[in-house]
Amino acid sequence: MYELLREELHARRGRFTTPHGVVQTPVFMNVGTQAAIKGALSAEDLERVGCQIELSNTYHLHVRPGDSLIRDRGGLHRFMTWDKPILTDSGGFQIFSLAELRSIKEEGVTFHSHVDGRKIFMGPEESMRIQANLGSDIAMAFDECCKIPSPYEYVKASCERTTRWLARCKKALAAYTSEDEAVNPGQLLFGINQGAVFADLRVEHMKQIAELDLPGYAIGGLAVGETWQEMYDTIEIVEEHMPKDRPRYLMGVGTPGNIIEGVARGVDFFDCVMPARNGRHGHLFTWNGIINIKNEKYLRDDTPIDPSCGCPVCRRYSKAYLRHLFKAEEMLAMRLSVAHNLYFYNDLLKRIRESLDEGRFGAIRDEFSKKLDKRI
Amino acid sequence: MYELLREELHARRGRFTTPHGVVQTPVFMNVGTQAAIKGALSAEDLERVGCQIELSNTYHLHVRPGDSLIRDRGGLHRFMTWDKPILTDSGGFQIFSLAELRSIKEEGVTFHSHVDGRKIFMGPEESMRIQANLGSDIAMAFDECCKIPSPYEYVKASCERTTRWLARCKKALAAYTSEDEAVNPGQLLFGINQGAVFADLRVEHMKQIAELDLPGYAIGGLAVGETWQEMYDTIEIVEEHMPKDRPRYLMGVGTPGNIIEGVARGVDFFDCVMPARNGRHGHLFTWNGIINIKNEKYLRDDTPIDPSCGCPVCRRYSKAYLRHLFKAEEMLAMRLSVAHNLYFYNDLLKRIRESLDEGRFGAIRDEFSKKLDKRI
């Protein structure tokens, strides 16, 4: 399913085939947590910002409106009218970051919904059932995402459990996707590597999950408090042990610079709430760095956010107008800003792919890796 | 500039030519108070919902971002990237409903901005200067909008002053639009009839302002607390004295039923915040009445808001998805709902125009005048 087209040092240009079409990698996945993009972007807008693959959240959709309701509507693709690939996370990250009063056992996790306080149990089988109901193209394994820092012994035991959970995930998803009424019989499972920033645990865990021969592997549990250097070091250490013929997904990362550095270390898939969240606050990405559109200096600026950007917002609206929308507290401010930022991220990945096609990724990395993350 | 194409009893089918194109009447004007449509609708969306003419607010834009800033950007059309007709109100209504600590004199009104408390003076000349700076196609006269009920003597004196203000508006706008640097030299002035619900004052005032031979006339000061019957009676009384060869604009009205009844009484232009405001609360117009999309009964409803509606929302999204978006508090909920409601209003006026073209407006009125305002 994954085809490696070209390499430049550790960076990889590839393509990954899913039941809803081919994803050109490296790729940024646009986050629609609750089956909608924050900032009022519609499914049509997602197409216009160049999104190849959308990411939704198992935990949120299980809590509201419920995954069986979505299954009965024909699955997530039909429910949100998005006909291209969808990846769903496993719920693990949200359970360990959002939900309250967790109790972790070998079977799974008991927690309370952040919406109505209702008690919910989720283990590998439940997570796979929910994701099978949603009918995403890529289901993520149910894992425990340890805090950084966490004690070595805790992380070690957690990784061992996550490995046992992964075997249960594989078995459960195989069963659910072969049911007659399966929403997406071709649904694929990605395993998730954990181990905090302990190199030996990361490597040991990666070796164990690689044995399960899954369609893809993610590096999870990063961008949760460690330094960028620790994150990069961890990727380098793990990457050596990841199967070359499977895509690698760095979960929840990151800034444009983080993504460039991730690609340089062999990562193929990325996702992050940053472009949407920053957009809602008026922080806009440009090819020269990050601007704050609310700044006084844009009061009378008739130029677009970035004259070199081809997005629908830059082709039509001025900075002066966008600034006015923020100051007047018009919802349109957020929508246009999020649209621009998501286009920027998708465009960044497109430019990275083109540079890999032409053997000049190194030059892109040198030019943009630091520049794009700077506030100007 | 106004061409009366056809009549059916008092109802009129016409067209009105402005510097930014022809408006087919009767028409609903889509309200973009602060140079943006509430609910995150963009200028492209306005085109998609079938908007012919947009309405913005002099008072709001004067306060923020400032009309001279907009003039320096090339005027409101360029600032908000809307190339079709724009009408601006005079600020009068907002001054008398929003602003604090007003003091009314013959010269004009002193008040405090609702945004920053700053003291502002606005009279006929100031209102015309602001609207000339904005460069709208239709400028509205600066008037006093009396509360209902107000004492007879107060309203009488107010109307007399509004007439004197109108003469000053006409003179001022003529001067401003003939300046070399005028943003929109073809800008047109509409007078506004006042008089609360006092028939004799309404008629007397209408006769006086008709003498000024303006390109159009509005009925103002209605839909501010009187009954629908009082409103309809007032329209009928005034309409007799409105020039037949000029368009008539019923300000701030109203429900679909109000609009049908207004057309039946000879009105050509309407505007109202209702479709956008109701949309943001999940109250959606259909050809069978008004639904509340948050209602439990739509939880598993895979049909569009209205199967007979051709809007981009009804062509793509289900009620179940829209309800989920509201429950999940996604901004997209508001955007899709406002888009549907505005399309509905523009479509209603389109159907009314078609019925007038074919001499069957009476049948449309009989079928829809009551039905469309009902909650179902």
pLDDT in tens, A227-259: 999 999 999 999 999 999 999 999 999 999 999
Query: Would an 8 Å CB–CB cutoff place B64 in contact with chain A?
Result: yes
Statement: residue A328 has pLDDT above 80 = yes
Pick from B40, B81, B312: which is nearest to A316 by CB? B81
Distance from CA of A9 to the nearest CA of B (A): 42
Query: Would an 8 Å CB–CB cutoff place B335 in contact with chain A?
Result: yes
Contacts of A373 (CB under 8 A, 6+ apart): A255, A256, A257, A258, A289, A290
CB contact under 8 A, A64 and B34: no
State the residue for tokens 């330094």.
A227
Quote the pLDDT of residue B101.
Answer: 67
CB contact under 8 A, A331 and B336: no
CA-nearest residue to A335 within chain B is B40
Per residue in A89-125, pLDDT (tens digit) is 998 888 888 766 688 999 999 998 888 889 999 999 9
How many C-beta atoms lie closer than 10 Å to residue A31's C-beta?
22
Interatomic CA distance for residues B104 and A261, integer angstroms: 65
Query: Would an 8 Å CB–CB cutoff place B38 in contact with chain A?
Result: yes
Per residue in A69-94, pLDDT (tens digit) is 999 999 999 999 999 999 999 988 88
Query: Would an 8 Å CB–CB cutoff place A40 in contact with chain B?
Result: yes
Pick from A69, A299, A321: which is nearest to B300 by CB? A69
CA-CA-CA-CA dihedral for A293, A295, A299, A300, to nearest 10 = -80
Specify whether the CB–CB gap between A205 and A161 falls below 8 A: no
Going by the DSSP 8-state scheme, the letter that residue A25 receives in this structure is: E
Catalytic positions of A, written as ranges: 89, 271
Quote the pLDDT of residue B331.
Answer: 97
Pick from A73, A323, A332: which is nearest to B41 by CB? A332
Query: Would an 8 Å CB–CB cutoff place A366 in contact with chain B?
Result: no
Q: Is the ipTM of this complex over 0.95?
A: yes
Query: Would an 8 Å CB–CB cutoff place B110 in contact with chain A?
Result: no
Average pLDDT estimate for A338-355 = 98
* pTM for the model: 0.97
Going by the DSSP 8-state scheme, the letter that residue A108 receives in this structure is: -
Quote the pLDDT of residue A101.
Answer: 67
How many C-beta atoms lie closer than 10 Å to residue A74's C-beta?
13
Pick from B36, B318, B332: which is nearest to A36 by CB? B332
Query: Would an 8 Å CB–CB cutoff place A79 in contact with chain B?
Result: yes
Contacts of A334 in chain B (CB under 8 A): 40, 331
For chain B, the three-class secondary structure string (H helix, E strand, C coil) is: CEEEEEEECCEEEEEEEECCEEEEECEEEEECCCCCECCCECHHHHHHCCCCCEEEEHHHHHHCCCHHHHHHCCCHHHHHCCCCCEEEECCHHHHHHCCEEEEECCCCEEEECCCCCCEEEECHHHHHHHHHHHCCCEEECCCCCCCCCCCHHHHHHHHHHHHHHHHHHHHHHHHHHCCCCCCCCCCEEEEEECCCCCHHHHHHHHHHHHCCCCCEEEECCCCCCCCHHHHHHHHHHHHCCCCCCCCEEECCCCCHHHHHHHHHCCCCEEECCHHHHHHHCCEEEEECEEEECCCHHHCCCCCCCCCCCCCCCCCCCCHHHHHHHHHCCCHHHHHHHHHHHHHHHHHHHHHHHHHHHCCCHHHHHHHHCCHHHCEC
Quote the pLDDT of residue B98.
Answer: 75
Where residue A314 falls among pLDDT bands split at 50, 70, 90?
very high
Quote the pLDDT of residue B93.
Answer: 86
Specify whether the CB–CB gap between B58 and B91 falls below 8 A: yes
State the residue for tokens 């006269």.
B141
Query: Would an 8 Å CB–CB cutoff place A297 in contact with chain B?
Result: no
Distance from CA of A300 to the nearest CA of B (A): 7
Query: Would an 8 Å CB–CB cutoff place A363 in contact with chain B?
Result: no
CB contact under 8 A, A44 and B317: no
Chain-centroid distance of CA A44 in Å reads 20
CB contact under 8 A, A312 and B37: no
CB contact under 8 A, B332 and A37: yes
Q: In terms of Cα–Cα distance, which of A356, A334, A333, A337 is closest to A345?
A: A337
3-state SS of chain A: helix, strand, coil percent to 5? 40, 20, 40
The two tokens of residue B269 are 């232009």
Cβ pairs A/B, distance under 8 A: 113
Q: In terms of Cα–Cα distance, which of B70, B3, B317 is closest to A80?
A: B317
CB contact under 8 A, B332 and A41: yes
> Which H/E stretch holds residue A286?
strand A283-286
Average pLDDT estimate for A171-196 = 98
CA-CA-CA-CA dihedral for A158, A159, A165, A170, to nearest 10 = 160
Per DSSP, the three-state class of A6 is strand
Interatomic CA distance for residues A361 and A354, integer angstroms: 8
CA-nearest residue to A72 within chain B is B300
Interatomic CA distance for residues A257 and A260, integer angstroms: 5
Average pLDDT estimate for A33-40 = 95
Interatomic CA distance for residues B357 and B351, integer angstroms: 10
Distance from CA of B259 to the nearest CA of A (A): 27
Average pLDDT estimate for A255-267 = 98
> Which H/E stretch holds residue A331?
helix A331-357
* Burial of B376 per CB tally in 10 Å (0-12, 13-18, 19+): exposed
Quote the pLDDT of residue A193.
Answer: 98
Going by the DSSP 8-state scheme, the letter that residue A375 receives in this structure is: B
CB contact under 8 A, B300 and A38: no
Quote the pLDDT of residue B310.
Answer: 97
Given a cut of 50, the residues of chain B with pLDDT beneath it are none
State the residue for tokens 């996604």.
B330
Interatomic CA distance for residues B343 and A192, integer angstroms: 46
Is the model more confident about B94 or about A54? A54
Chain-wide mean pLDDT for chain A? 96
User: Strands B216-219, B188-193: parallel, antiparallel or unpaired by DSSP?
Assistant: parallel
Pick from A72, A79, A331: which is nearest to B40 by CB? A331
Query: Would an 8 Å CB–CB cutoff place A181 in contact with chain B?
Result: no
Per residue in A5-18, pLDDT (tens digit) is 999 999 999 999 99
Specify whether the CB–CB gap between B80 and B46 falls below 8 A: no
CB contact under 8 A, B72 and A34: no
Max CA separation in chain A (angstroms): 61
User: Strands A11-18, A2-8: parallel, antiparallel or unpaired by DSSP?
Assistant: antiparallel
Quote the pLDDT of residue B102.
Answer: 81
State the residue for tokens 């100051």.
A327
Q: In terms of Cα–Cα distance, which of B16, B163, B193, B42 is closest to A39?
A: B42
Going by the DSSP 8-state scheme, the letter that residue A35 receives in this structure is: S
Pick from B65, B80, B328: which is nearest to A64 by CB? B328
> Which candidate in B89, B137, B268, B347 is catalytic?
B89
Per DSSP, the three-state class of A8 is strand
State the residue for tokens 């793509």.
B316
Interatomic CA distance for residues A213 and A211, integer angstroms: 5
Query: Would an 8 Å CB–CB cutoff place B182 in contact with chain A?
Result: no
Pick from A80, A300, A321: which is nearest to B80 by CB? A321
Average pLDDT estimate for A61-73 = 97
CB contact under 8 A, B36 and A299: no
CB contact under 8 A, B332 and A299: no
